[in-house]
């Protein structure tokens, strides 16, 4: 699933994606010296109705855990993705932090010294089971605080009927993508390629194109490289070869949100766009046939695709380190991770569950996303400056592909603000 897992898989879009709260200050569950502890967990809802609410998943997990661990109770509050990050923030501000929060971002809490380190909580086996790109994205200054909970990658979706009618094959390079888009436009397709650089999720589309051009938000040592030559060339190409040639539809990319692009694809109005697993359900529900391929790169398949994760974190305030760690080891068992992933059509965050899903569903549509996860690159969510950078990208990146846009200037402006924010911390 900021923008996280699929914003998130229906309730996940919402991102997976991929957490109203009645949480209260965690404390001892029993009176006197019984030693009983009640852990408070606030979690995001990945369902899209009461029938498949995440509350049902957590109730089952808690029931199994409490049966094996007398003396430890777990109280779970599940909230909408629209509310959960804000509500956890308010709880922490009031001095009423939950023991655990499964939400969209962890870096600010880590920077404030409010979180346990992962290795203070988890068994060695559990911590080692996280997929490497996800574990690394959970680090602040090389120490892991964020534990990945749900993951997603992106693929290029294409409308198979439109492609068949135009006698096209899915693109593997930018030039092929442009050629396909031109052919679709010639046949009257409303939006040959949807390029959502609007405020909803511009950072995602931006990163996908940066990666396909050999760049990214950061360099190999984790420093911001937003205004790199590769990134400037990528957005110049988008401006001149896609937007400038009228291949992205009547709405300016800077005014198109991802939700609108997905809805247009589900209506059959879009030839191609970058998407996550939520779009599979949306399109299928509307009867739109689609195919999916890895993102095209400059001269062939992109070296990496974008990955997104939602996070679990443990607050130190209530001092329940041992009990919290025991619960997390249970949560991250192969059985539980796999059950959650299968229920919501999202990707497992552990090697053991990923291997099991690949064996069971590797040939399915979801398996195509799973295949991209081990080499995916995530937002630099370990930087507390990322929230500001993300906001700047949402505000400005669309300007880089306008008719008279200057990609280098736009990217440099975002880079300078990012560097200033980093230096101020």
User: What span, in angstroms and rounded, lies between the C-alpha atoms of 416 and 392?
Assistant: 11
Please indicate, yes or no, if residue 383 is contained in any of the structural domains.
no
User: pLDDT digits over 149-192, tens only?
Assistant: 999 999 999 999 999 999 999 999 999 999 999 999 999 999 99
pLDDT at 425: 67
Mean pLDDT over 23-39 rounds to: 51
Mean pLDDT over 216-235 rounds to: 95
114 and 211 fall within a common domain? no
| CB contact at 8 A, 99 and 315 | yes
Least confident of 30-39, 52-61, 85-94, 247-256: 30-39
14 and 109 fall within a common domain? yes
User: pLDDT digits over 79-105, tens only?
Assistant: 998 899 999 999 999 999 999 999 999
pLDDT at 365: 86
Residue 32 pLDDT > 90, yes or no?
Answer: no
DSSP codes, 325-371: HHHHHHHTSHHHHHHHHHHHT-B-SBHHHHHHHHHHHTTSHHHHHHH
User: What span, in angstroms and rounded, lies between the C-alpha atoms of 384 and 256?
Assistant: 27
42 and 113 fall within a common domain? yes
271 and 231 fall within a common domain? yes
Q: Residues with Cβ < 8 Å from 194, sequence gap 6 or more? A: 248, 249, 256, 261, 264, 265, 270, 272, 273
Q: Give me the number of domains the chain comprises.
A: 2
At 173, is the secondary structure helix, strand, or coil? strand
Mean pLDDT over 221-235 rounds to: 96
Residue 2 pLDDT > 60, yes or no?
Answer: no
Residue 133 pLDDT > 70, yes or no?
Answer: yes
Please indicate, yes or no, if residue 220 is contained in any of the structural domains.
yes
pLDDT at 269: 98
pLDDT at 22: 35
84 and 167 fall within a common domain? no
| CB contact at 8 A, 115 and 98 | no
Residue 17: pLDDT band with limits 50, 70, 90: very low
Higher pLDDT, 201 or 208: 208
User: What span, in angstroms and rounded, lies between the C-alpha atoms of 388 and 166?
Assistant: 43
Residue 28 pLDDT > 70, yes or no?
Answer: no
Residue 147 pLDDT > 70, yes or no?
Answer: yes
222 and 101 fall within a common domain? no
Please indicate, yes or no, if residue 289 is contained in any of the structural domains.
yes
46 and 91 fall within a common domain? yes
User: pLDDT digits over 326-343, tens only?
Assistant: 999 999 999 999 999 999
Residue 21 pLDDT > 50, yes or no?
Answer: no
| CB contact at 8 A, 74 and 62 | yes
pLDDT at 170: 97
Residue 301: pLDDT band with limits 50, 70, 90: confident
pLDDT at 216: 96
Residue 230 pLDDT > 90, yes or no?
Answer: yes
98 and 14 fall within a common domain? yes
- Phi and psi at 60, nearest 5°, equal -70, -45
Please indicate, yes or no, if residue 419 is contained in any of the structural domains.
no
329 and 296 fall within a common domain? no
Higher pLDDT, 425 or 181: 181
Please indicate, yes or no, if residue 384 is contained in any of the structural domains.
no
DSSP codes, 103-142: ES--HHHHHTT-B--HHHHS-HHHHHTB-HHHHHHTEETT
Least confident of 134-148, 295-309, 356-370: 356-370
CA angle 58/62/63 to nearest 5° reads: 115
Which CATH number goes with the domain that contains 321? 3.40.190.10
Please indicate, yes or no, if residue 411 is contained in any of the structural domains.
no
Q: Are strands 37-44 and 72-79 parallel, antiparallel or unpaired?
A: parallel
Please indicate, yes or no, if residue 118 is contained in any of the structural domains.
yes
User: pLDDT digits over 371-415, tens only?
Assistant: 999 889 999 999 999 989 999 999 999 999 999 999 999 999 999
User: What span, in angstroms and rounded, lies between the C-alpha atoms of 413 and 392?
Assistant: 9
pLDDT at 261: 96
pLDDT at 9: 41
pLDDT at 47: 87
pLDDT at 35: 60
In percent, how much of the chain has pLDDT > 70?
91
Which DSSP letter does residue 377 get?
B
**Which residues in 110-132 are b (16+ Cβ under 10 Å) and which e?**
bbeebbbebeebbeeebbebbbe
108 and 246 fall within a common domain? no
Structural domain harbouring 266:
155-305
178 and 134 fall within a common domain? no
242 and 122 fall within a common domain? no
Please indicate, yes or no, if residue 327 is contained in any of the structural domains.
yes
For the entire predicted model, the pTM comes to: 0.84
């Amino acid at each position: 699933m900021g923008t996280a897992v699929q914003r998130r898989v229906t309730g996940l879009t919402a991102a997976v994606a991929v957490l109203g709260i009645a949480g209260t200050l965690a404390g001892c569950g029993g009176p006197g010296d019984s030693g009983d502890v009640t852990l408070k967990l606030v979690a995001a809802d990945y369902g899209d109705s009461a029938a498949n609410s995440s509350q049902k998943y957590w109730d089952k997990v808690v029931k199994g855990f409490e049966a094996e661990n007398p003396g430890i109770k777990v109280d779970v509050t599940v909230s909408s993705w629209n509310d959960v990050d804000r509500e956890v923030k308010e709880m922490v501000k009031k001095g009423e932090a939950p023991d655990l929060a499964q939400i969209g971002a962890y870096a600010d809490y880590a920077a404030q010294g409010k979180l346990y380190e992962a290795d203070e909580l988890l068994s060695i086996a559990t911590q080692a089971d996280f997929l490497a790109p996800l574990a690394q994205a959970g680090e602040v200054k090389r120490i892991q605080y964020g534990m990945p909970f749900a993951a997603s990658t992106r693929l290029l979706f294409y409308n198979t009927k439109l492609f068949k009618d135009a006698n096209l094959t899915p693109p593997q390079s930018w030039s092929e993508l442009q050629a396909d888009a031109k052919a679709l436009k010639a046949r009257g397709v409303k939006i040959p390629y949807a390029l959502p650089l609007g405020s909803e999720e511009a950072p995602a589309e931006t990163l996908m194109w940066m990666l396909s051009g050999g760049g990214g938000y950061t360099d190999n040592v984790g420093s911001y490289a937003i205004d790199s030559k590769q990134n400037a060339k990528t957005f110049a190409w988008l401006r001149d070869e896609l937007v400038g040639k009228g291949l992205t539809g009547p709405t300016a990319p800077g005014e198109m949100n991802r939700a609108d692009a997905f809805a247009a694809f589900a209506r059959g109005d879009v030839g191609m766009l970058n998407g996550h697993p939520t779009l599979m359900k949306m399109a299928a529900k509307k009867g739109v046939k689609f195919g999916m391929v890895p993102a095209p790169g400059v001269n062939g398949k992109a070296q990496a695709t974008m990955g997104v994760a939602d996070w679990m974190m443990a607050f130190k305030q209530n001092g329940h380190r041992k009990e919290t760690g025991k619960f997390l080891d249970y949560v991250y068992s192969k059985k539980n991770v796999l059950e959650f992933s299968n229920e919501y059509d999202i990707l497992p965050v552990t090697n053991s569950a990923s291997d099991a899903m690949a064996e069971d569903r590797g040939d399915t549509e979801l398996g195509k996303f799973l295949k991209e996860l081990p080499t995916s690159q995530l937002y630099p969510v370990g930087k507390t400056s990322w929230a500001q950078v993300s906001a700047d990208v949402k505000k400005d990146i669309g300007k880089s592909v306008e008719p008279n846009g200057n990609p280098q200037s736009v990217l440099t402006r975002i880079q300078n603000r990012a560097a200033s924010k980093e230096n101020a911390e």
